[in-house]
Structure formats: C-alpha cells, structure tokens
A and B are shown apart, each in its own frame.
Chain A
Amino acid sequence: MTLAKIAIRNLMRRKAKAGFLLLGLVIGVATATAVFSMVEAMTMDINHKLEKYGANILVLPRAESLGLSYGGLSLGGVPFDVEEIREQDLVRIDAIPNAANVAAVGPITLGVVPVAGRRLLLAGVDFAAAGILKPWWHLDGDFPGADGVLLGAEAAGTLDLGTGDSLTVAGRQLRVSGILSPTGSQDDELLFTRLSTAQQILNKPGKVSMVEVAALCTACPVEEMVRQIAEVLPNARVSAIQQVVKGRMETLAQFGRLSYGISAVVLMIGALVVLVTMMGNVRERTEEIGIFRALGFRSSHVLKIVLMEAAAVSAMAGILGYAAGIGATHFAVRLLSGGHPVAVSIRPEMAGAAIALAVILGLCASLYPAVTAARLDPNEALRTL
C-alpha cells in the first residue's frame, strides 16, 4: 500500500467524477493544442508557399533620382543615370553563398510598344522561371515561342484578339499563343514574349529592366540573401518584397493572438472545473481524511494523495487533449485551407508541453483543495472521537 495506490484507487472508485475532471482538462488542453498546431501549420504552409512560389526579392537597375518641387508642391522625382542590368551578370547570383536557396531567377525586359494604334507595355520574360515566380498564372493556350506572344486578359480584350490570331508589335509579326486568365494585377494589361524576343523588339540586347528572384529561405533571413545578391550585382538595387509577407504574417499573428486568448479562457475554465471538482471531492472525503490523519498520516501525506490524484488525471488529460487537439487541427486546417492538404506536424516536444501544461494546470487548480484537505482537523473530520 502506497500513497500513489490510494490516489489511483480513489480515482477508480469515483469514475464519473474523475471522468468529469478529465473532460474539463481535455477540452482545455485540446483547444490549446489545436490552436498552437493550427497556427503553426498555417504559418508553415504560408512560409512554404512563399518559399516555393512567387518572387520575394526584386532586383532593379540602380538609378539616381532628383526630387522636384515647386511652390511647396512635390512634383515627384526624375530618374537619371540609370545603369541597366546586363543579363549575363545574372549568373553571379548562382555563386552567392545561399545559391542553393534560390528557386528561380526571372529577368524581365520592359518597354512600351505600339500595337494597333495603341501604346502597350511589352514584357520579355523567362517562361521557365515564370512557372515558379507566377504560380497564379493560368492561361488559355501555350507559352509563346520565339515569334509568339502571350496576352494579358485585359490586353486581349482591348485588342480583340484570341489564341491563334496574329498581331504586329513594333513592326514584328507575332502569333498569339495563349491568353492569361485575369489575375487582378498589372499582368492583365501586358504583352508577354520570350526575353530574347522582347530584347530584339525593344532594341535592348542583353539588357534586363528588372529581375524577380524566388528565395527558399527557411533557414536564412531573406535580408541576408538580399545582401548577398547586392554584393554580386553592385550596380543594381536589390530589395525584399516584404509587404506581402509581412501582411500575411501579421494577419496570421492576429489570428494567433485571438486564438491564444481563447485558449487561455478555455484553460481557465478547465482549471475552474478542476478546482470545483476537487473541492467537492475533498468535502466528500472528510471522514476518510480524518481516518488517514488518525492513523498517523501527516498533513503532507494527505496533500500528496490529493495532488497525486490531480497529477494522474491531468497527465491523462494531457495525452488525450493533445491527441484530440491534433485531430481537431487536421479537420480545421482542411476546412480553413479550402481543401488543399496542409501538413500538421506531430512533435514529441509539443506533446510533452501539452502534458506538462495539463499537469501544471491540474496541480495549480488542485493546490487549494489539497491544502484544505491537509489542514482538516482530524478530530472534526472523524466526529466520532
């Protein structure tokens, strides 16, 4: 016979109460686990998408700008001394220390061209890189060949052209190989050709107007890659496209803060359930505690019995709560992500943290009932002596 055995036997006897206690804590721990796992899974998913798809570094030609103002009104700036980026210099990006983190390098040559009496923007792009850099592109048709052109949705509408039609761009005959579905971005208004085609039409051989870089940056800050690229392209202005990332992360952080708040409230309710149940438990066991004390149990022994019961239930609640939380996360993430698979990681340290959280919460909530039990006057408790 040990104190632990007494604690376990009492729990087994009061299965309904132990179950209620367990449920209170399981709900709290499951909520906290689900929230943490969900925020973690969604953060990882967003990071993954940001890393895998889309540009997050922009390389622009270095240019001096002269600010103009007249009569207290700002008239914007006038760029001058523009040093265009040479296509051949871009291979240097492959030599930066974090070259392995570079998923795609997409040079773009831009220029205004006359088409059917209108002035439109022509973009020469590397369509292989565009597949990674612009994952939101959906097109009706194919990527263009050397004499082909891909039209943005709005441009196709303006020019009233469809796939297979021909148009003359700055005197060069090009065939429409495909039309982009509307993206809601400036891409809708552009004409896209191969980089070399655009360079020929715009008379910018070997020159690029800007470069989009997709960096896989799980283990390194994107700023570090920006610095490395700026070092190898000293005549270019390299910057991270942080607004999108920051915006998404801020939204997620707000969601996280709200969720953590809700978790804290649910955990508090769980702790109250433990407190009330354990207090009731102690009151019901007054006579039993009196027997223990009369038989020579110290106050600390009674305290230990009550806390052991709380710890046993709490540890069980931690295990079940973690499992329930992970299950709920799988379900919720699938709903929130619109059906596409999002990995929910099962990590031993998180399971350990859930169990520890449950045990700490259970012990803290049981401390007052345990102290009350330990302080019971054995004579009052027994009443018969």
Chain B
Amino acid sequence: MSFIEVKNLVKQYGTGEAAVAAVNGISFTVEPGEFVAVMGPSGAGKSTLLSVMGAMNAPTKGRYAVDGIDVYSLRPEQGADFRREFLGFVFQGFHLVDYLTVLENVMLPLAVSPGARQEKDARAKEALAWVGLADKASRLPGEISGGEKERAAIARAIVNEPPLLLADEPTGSLDSSTGRDVMELILRLNRQGTTVLMVTHSSECAGYAARRLLVRDGRLAADETDAGDAEVPKDLPVGLAAAGGGQSIG
C-alpha cells in the first residue's frame, strides 16, 4: 500500500453548463519519503490539487488516502486532527500570525495538541534551531526578513513532526539566494524521511524533487522520476520544462 493514494480525483466548481473541473480525474501514488514537485501553468489545477490533498477542499469525485486513511470520509473534527497529525503546511505568503512572536507561531499547532507545556516549548525551540532561527524566537513576524519568515513557517510546519509536508510555492516571495536556503531546508527535511509534495512554477525548485508531476487542464500530463537521488540544482526533463517550468527560484 502506498503512503498517498490519489485515485480519479475530480474537483469541479459550479454546476450545470457553468461547471469547471479544476482537477479532472487525476490519479497517482506517492511512497513514503518521496519528494514530489507538482508543476504546471497557471490555472492548471495544481493549487486545487494541493488544497484537496491538504484535507481542506473536498473533491467532487475520487478517493484520496494517506497512510490508508480515506481522508474525506473523516468527520470535520477528525479532518482537523488529521491535518494536525499528518500534515505540515508551508504557504507561499508565509501566513504567520502577526501578533504572535516567531516562537509562538511555531508553537501554534502544539496549542491544540496534548502534551506538557515545557515539552511543547522545547519542541518549538528545537524546530526553530533546526531552521536557524533560535535567536529570532522572541521577534514578531514584522521584525524579521522574508527568508526568515519562510523558515519560521517551515519550523511551524514540522514542529508536530508530520509525515507529509505540503508546500505551495515556498520560494515564491523570496529572492533567489534566500529561496535556495529554503529549498535546502526542505530537501534536508525530506532526506530525514518526511514525504514532501510541493507545488511550484520554478524549474530550479522542481529540480530539488526526485519526482515531478505535470498538471495541465486539471489532468496529469506527465509523471517523471529521477533514477537516483536528486542533484541540486539540475535541469528539468524536456517535457516538464516545455510545460511551464523554466523559471528560477524566487
């Protein structure tokens, strides 16, 4: 059994003649520890696919399972628990809560998790240290740079040690140098065993992934896997580069 199973997934918006299928029958599987980049032109349906995989956007049809759990058969509160225990999110716009310090932002997923306060505090500090932000713990998001915000967002995504990290254009708001640092972090996380599924326009970012899915018009147009470990950075396969890659980080 694969870690992630996506089968005949359809996500349709609107009804009748106005209905548009943002995701139109996509199927694939992901094994534990894989690093998968989802690529495609704007409007191809990759962000919709990521929201469905984030357990926040129920598909019109099809099945989505993680570790054998049929995610959309869960009750709403179980869905929230699933997101907390199985998923880490890294958003393009950081989405840090501006009135909480960096440390408090990292601790957010732990606020509704069981455990002693000291233990949670230690885990959050450990996650911050892992992304190199130990010295910025008491700063507010408005007091740190974009790259530091993205790293704080990564620390928040991994503080619960989720088995699956979902990233949406993680370098979209960063310059190329900072973007590379962030991608190094994500790759390091993947090499420690976390499965990563990342939506990106950037060929350079996609180059960090060992596998690339090309989505076009809501369908899976290509699914390519490297033979060995990913080299960083590397050229995209011809099909993916032609399909919408070719941009640089940031």
Contacts and interface: CB of A to CB of B under 8 A. Distances in A.
A293 B99 contact: no
Interface residues of B, number: 37
B156 interface: yes
B180 to A, nearest CB: 22
Nearest to A377: B56
A260 interface: no
Contacts of B56: 293-294, 377-379, 382, 385
B93 A384 contact: yes
Contacts of B95: 287, 290-291, 294, 382, 384
Contacts of A300: 77
10 contacts: A1-B108, A2-B111, A5-B111, A9-B104, A290-B95, A295-B89, A295-B108, A295-B109, A296-B113, A385-B51
Looking at A5, A12, A290, A378, which has the most chain B CB atoms within 10 Å of its CB? A378
A13 interface: yes
Contacts, number: 94
Interface in B34-62: 47, 50-51, 54, 56-57
A5 B77 CA distance: 22
Nearest to B121: A1
A6 B100 contact: yes
A295 B84 contact: yes
A67 B25 CA distance: 105
Interface of B: 47, 50-51, 54, 56-57, 76-77, 80-85, 87, 89, 91-93, 95, 97-100, 104, 107-113, 120, 124, 156, 160, 168
Given A294-B83, A300-B77, A301-B80, 18 more contacts: A1-B100, A6-B111, A10-B99, A291-B108, A294-B56, A294-B89, A295-B83, A295-B108, A295-B156, A296-B82, A296-B83, A297-B111, A297-B112, A298-B77, A299-B77, A384-B47, A384-B91, A384-B92
Contacts of A378: 56
Contact of A293 (B47, B51, B80): B80
Contacts of A2: 111
A377 B91 CA distance: 17
Contacts of A299: 76-77, 80
Contacts of B91: 382, 384-385
A288 B97 contact: yes
A127 interface: no
B155 to A, nearest CB: 12
Interface residues on A, range: 20 to 34
A341 to B, nearest CB: 49
Nearest to A1: B107
B13 to A, nearest CB: 12
Nearest to A3: B111
Interface in A55-95: none
A7 to B, nearest CB: 11
Nearest to B106: A1
A385 B47 contact: yes
B57 to A, nearest CB: 4
A10 B124 CA distance: 21
A292 interface: yes
A6 B108 CA distance: 9
A2 B112 CA distance: 7
Contacts of B76: 298-299
Interface in A289-330: 290-301
